Amino acid sequence: MTTTDILAHLDANEDAIRARYFDLLRIPSVSAQPAHADDCRRAAEWLREELTAIGFMTEVRETAGHPVVVAHHPGPGGNVPHLLYYGHYDVQPAEPYELWTSPPFEPTTLDGPNGPRTVARGAVDDKGQVMMWLSALRSCHEVAGGPPCRISVLIEGEEEVGSPSLDAFLAQHAADLKPADIVVVSDTNMWDARTPAITTRLRGMAYAQIDLYAASRDLHSGLYGGNALNPINLLSRILGGMHDENGRITLDGFYDAVPPIPNALAQQWHDLNFDERRFLGEIGLSTPSGEKGLPALQRMWARPTCDVNGIWGGYTGEGSKTVIAAEAHAKVSFRLVGYQDPHAIFDSLERFVKERIPEDARVEIQRFGAAPPVTVDEDSRWVAAARRVLTEEFGKPPVMAGSGGSIPVVASFKTILGLDSLLIGFGLDDDAVHSPNEKFDWACLMHGARSHARLLAELGGKA
């Protein structure tokens, strides 16, 4: 088997790849909605059959939530790398349906600036990106009888709801998965439609809810206004005080574990000539926000954030009702970088809020999602191999990119299994992930499949 043989096989089988891809997209595997539990299981079974057909020993294993697909292939034997491929089969809810231009679970092909594109829920996140490496593995099977490396596969069904069952699953099955050398994850983006990227930084997450209580009941604002504590006013002042006039977060010690980025990396990002005006203009904005004095990509990839994601209390219905609410609530998320510990951030938030609570108020803080930030070693053999194959496929070197988002499972692989991850994704910024009319350009999917085939050959010594 040579790389040329595999690439030729992929190119010759585009129609078959598209047919399998569409079959998977037609399964409405929405993990957040109990009504789709059977569909989630159907997607897991579909993947089990797909992997079994290309020579893998495959199981659908139970969790406290939706099942996980686990598969293994011994490869050719000998001293070859052991790769663990990760993906997820679950998708976001499709609502609001009325904003879709075609049925969300009936894949539709449309023309776009980069050629044909597929529109469907899960088109890119993550069924399309899973289909890329599945297609590369299928070509290895059909051309050479199997992949040139030892391969394990883990495809979960709860990523879109925060992977609540995955950590326990990884701990329970560590002996089965830990022998891998590296985790390969395709759930990220390219720099643009013609420029590949390797994601080397992921921001972490700390997500909390603040519940503030005052009087024993809602109060008449005329009878009690000016005398009774208004928890909505108080919570608004507290939240407003979490940033200073320069956009910096004011929690004690918040930046202690945030290192400056190296000058060489800052220069690389500067040389990408990121168009912030265009980036904001596409969402109807024009003025940068966040920390003052920093370039956009540094704010997005290498600096932490604090955002109020929701705030409520009192009367919010039609017309007027003049009350002083008895309680107020807010949801707050922090995106973390460097060496920030989400649990330390929770502690700092709790101190910040409680120091500002007067005698007649009571506060509770609920701690939800927590994931540490991730930094990938750019000098590792895995990143070096990915650089080579992406350069071969696209004719230009990949961007060493950061990501403003979080992929908590990457941190779980590191903390539970001791495994680093290689993050090579092929999505685009305009793919409308989690939104109506999610799409995946066919060119991106095929470049992704070819890149994964090249990576397998490179690591297996079959180039």
How many of the other CB atoms lie within 10 Å of CB of 211? 16
Residues 118 and 53 in one domain: yes
Integer angstrom CA distances of residue 187 from 130, 279, 396, 433: 8, 21, 21, 11
What residue type is assigned to position 365 of the chain?
Answer: I
pLDDT band at 282 (very low <50, low <70, confident <90, very high): confident
CATH value at residue 107: 3.40.630.10
Domain finish residue from 274, 301, 328:
301
405 or 254: which leads in pLDDT? 254
* Spatial contact of 406 and 162, defined as CB atoms under 8 Å apart: no
| Res 278: pLDDT | 92
Region 303-310: mean pLDDT is: 97
118 dihedral zone (left: phi>0; alpha: psi -120 to 50; beta): beta
Q: Exposure pattern of 352-370 as b/e (b: 16+ CB <10 Å)?
A: bbeeebeeebebebebebb
| Res 405: pLDDT | 84
pLDDT tens for 81-104 read: 999 999 999 999 999 999 999 999
Residues 157 and 24 in one domain: yes
Q: For residue 332, give the nearest of 322, 346, 343 by alpha carbon.
A: 346
234: phi then psi, degrees, rounded to nearest 5: -65, -45
* Spatial contact of 75 and 144, defined as CB atoms under 8 Å apart: no
Q: For residue 199, give the nearest of 342, 337, 383 by alpha carbon.
A: 383
| Res 407: pLDDT | 86
Residues 402 and 416 in one domain: yes
DSSP E strands in 5-149: the ranges are 57-61, 68-73, 82-88, 108-112, 115-119
Residues 239 and 381 in one domain: no
The structural domain count of the chain equals: 3
Helical pair 37-53 and 127-144, crossing angle rounded to 10 deg: 20
What is the three-class DSSP state of 12? helix
Domain finish residue from 301, 332, 355:
301
| Res 2: pLDDT | 82
| Res 462: pLDDT | 67
Report which secondary-structure segment, H or E, holds 402.
strand 399-403
The pair of structure tokens assigned to 234 is: 């108080």
Helical pair 14-25 and 3-12, crossing angle rounded to 10 deg: 60
CATH value at residue 327: 3.30.70.360
Residues 127 and 47 in one domain: yes
pLDDT at residue 123 tops 60:
yes
Its domain, for residue 41, covers 3-202+373-459
pLDDT tens for 64-80 read: 999 999 999 999 999 99
pLDDT tens for 353-381 read: 999 999 999 999 999 988 899 999 999 99
| Res 463: pLDDT | 55
Residues 145 and 57 in one domain: yes
Residues 155 and 7 in one domain: yes
Residues 181 and 208 in one domain: no
Helical pair 14-25 and 127-144, crossing angle rounded to 10 deg: 140
Match 């000058």 to its residue by tokens: 263
For the chain, give the mean pLDDT: 96
243: DSSP letter: B
pLDDT at residue 230 tops 70:
yes
Residues 278 and 366 in one domain: no
Q: Exposure pattern of 14-27 as b/e (b: 16+ CB <10 Å)?
A: eeebbebbbebbbb
Residues 266 and 238 in one domain: no
Residues 49 and 197 in one domain: yes
Domain finish residue from 327, 342, 371:
371
| Res 369: pLDDT | 81
Residues 65 and 106 in one domain: yes
